[in-house]
Amino acid sequence: MINSICLLLEEAGLEKSRIKLEYSKFLYANPEQIFVLSSFTNEDELSSGWKNTAHEVAVTIQSKLSDELDSLRWDIYLIYVVNDLVSPHLKAEIENSRLYFRKLVIFKGEEVPIENRLPLGILGHLHFNEKLTLFDDYSFLEEFKKNVSPEVQKELGDDFFIDPKSNLEILKSKYGGEL
């Protein structure tokens, strides 16, 4: 599981660092973000070790960022990878902790795909999922249809909400001339 996360980070343009940490396996960075990966066998190990890992990253990495790298201190993500199930309570405790920086718990059997949990920015997500866009025509029309009256829906017709490419022609034919 940790190898697939490493691959996702590399595909998103982050470089693997040579910095060695006692409690963490890997550190990836680019000029916009730092990701630290720490691996745990089970929930008990995570429960007893997550704060040590956070302290280590805060002291070793975050506290040393200065000058032009200072803004990175707010873009550090510590990812706890657990090879077993994790209770929702412990996961929430760790991820909601305001201690130092953002923390994510990714565990075996989690229903949400890993790439959807990682805050890689829009470019990273587009790389993994070419269907993801911020505001595509279909999503807009679906939302638009929910927010207009039934009378307007009827006047525009069903085709208007199905094929975004024909919308301009439909509007021109209904309301004449140029828009």
Task: Flag whether pLDDT at 93 surpasses 90.
Answer: yes
Domain at 52, CATH number: 3.40.1350
Same domain, 75 and 112: yes
Most confident of 82-86, 139-143, 150-154, 167-171: 82-86
Same domain, 92 and 32: yes
Question: Between 121-128 and 2-11, two packed helices, what is the crossing angle to 10 degrees?
Answer: 110
Same domain, 86 and 50: yes
Same domain, 82 and 168: no
Same domain, 141 and 123: no
- Into how many domains does the chain fold? 2
Domain that holds residue 53: 2-128
pLDDT at site 34: 86
Same domain, 109 and 153: no
Measured distance CA(120)–CA(112) in Å, rounded: 15
pLDDT at site 131: 41
Higher pLDDT, residue 166 or 105: 105
pLDDT at site 138: 61
Same domain, 50 and 81: yes
Task: Flag whether pLDDT at 176 surpasses 50.
Answer: yes
Going by DSSP bridges, is the β-strand pair 76-82/102-107 parallel, antiparallel, or unpaired?
parallel
pLDDT digits (tens, 9 = 90+) for 95-153: 999 888 889 999 987 766 777 777 775 444 434 444 434 445 666 677 777 788 888 88
Higher pLDDT, residue 140 or 59: 59
Burial 130-145 (b: 16+ CB within 10 A, else e): eeeeeeeeeeebeeee
Task: Flag whether pLDDT at 6 surpasses 60.
Answer: yes
Same domain, 143 and 108: no
Same domain, 95 and 164: no
3-state secondary structure of 104: strand
Mean pLDDT, residues 50-67: 87
Same domain, 71 and 47: yes
Same domain, 152 and 109: no
Higher pLDDT, residue 64 or 119: 64
End of a domain among 128, 145, 162? Answer: 128
pLDDT class for 45, splitting at 50, 70, 90? very high
Same domain, 79 and 150: no
DSSP state of 76: E
